[in-house]
Amino acid sequence: MPITIQIPTALRVFTDRKSEVRANGATVAGAIADFAASYPDIRQHLYDEDGTLRSFINIYLGDTNVKNLGGLDTPLKDGDTLMLVPAIAGGSCPR
C-alpha cells in the first residue's frame, strides 16, 4: 500500500536530497524495508548489524510514535505518512 515517508535533513544525503519518498508496505516494518531497498545506501544507518531498526530514529505516524501504537507491526493504510525523527545533537558546534 502506497505511503509517504518524510526524510529529515540528516538522512537526505542518502535519498538524493529528497525530503519525501514513496514506499509500499502494509506495516511500518514493511514500508521501511521497502524504502531501504530503494535507497540501499541508507541501510547501514537505519538498521544495526542484527537487522534491528536503530533506536536513535523514532518513527511517527501522525503525531504519535509508532512505539506507542503497535510498534513496527503497526498497520498502515493508503496515503499514510511516516516521519523519521532522528536524534540530532547540534547546539554549540565548537569547531
Partner 1 sequence: MSVIPDERTRDLSNDEISRYSRHLLLPEVGIEGQKRLAASRVLIVGTGGLGAPLALYLAAAGVGTLGVVDFDFVEASNLQRQIIHSNRDIDRPKTASAKDRIKGLNPGVEVVVHNTRLTSENALDIFAGYDLVADGTDNYQTRYLVNDACVLLGIPNVYGSIYQFEGQASVFYAKEGPCYRCLYPSPPPPGLVPSCAEGGVLGVLPGIVGTIQACEAIKLIVGGADSLIGRLLLLDAWSMKFRELRIERDPNCPICGASPTIRGLIDYEQFCGIGLPSDEAPIETITAVELKERLDRGDRLQLIDIRESHERAIVKFPGAKYIPLGQMARRVDEFDPSADAVFLCKIGQRSVFAIRALRDAGYDGRLINLKDGVNAWARDVDKSLPQY
Options 47, 65, 72, 75; binder of partner 1; rule CB under 8 A: 65
DSSP state, 8?
-
Query: Residue 4 class from Cβ within 10 Å (0-12 exposed, 13-18 middle, 19+ buried)?
Result: middle
Q: Which is nearer to partner 1, 2 or 64 (CB)?
A: 64
Q: Which is nearer to partner 1, 1 or 58 (CB)?
A: 58
- Residue 18 binding partner 1, by CB under 8 A: no
- Residue 87 binding partner 1, by CB under 8 A: yes
Secondary element (H or E) of residue 86: strand 81-86
Order the strands of the 57-61 sheet from edge to edge.
Answer: 20-24, 2-6, 81-86, 57-61, 64-65
- Residue 71 binding partner 1, by CB under 8 A: no
Where on the chain is the footprint of partner 1 (CB under 8 A)? 8-10, 13-16, 39-45, 49, 54-56, 58, 60, 63-65, 67-68, 83, 85-95
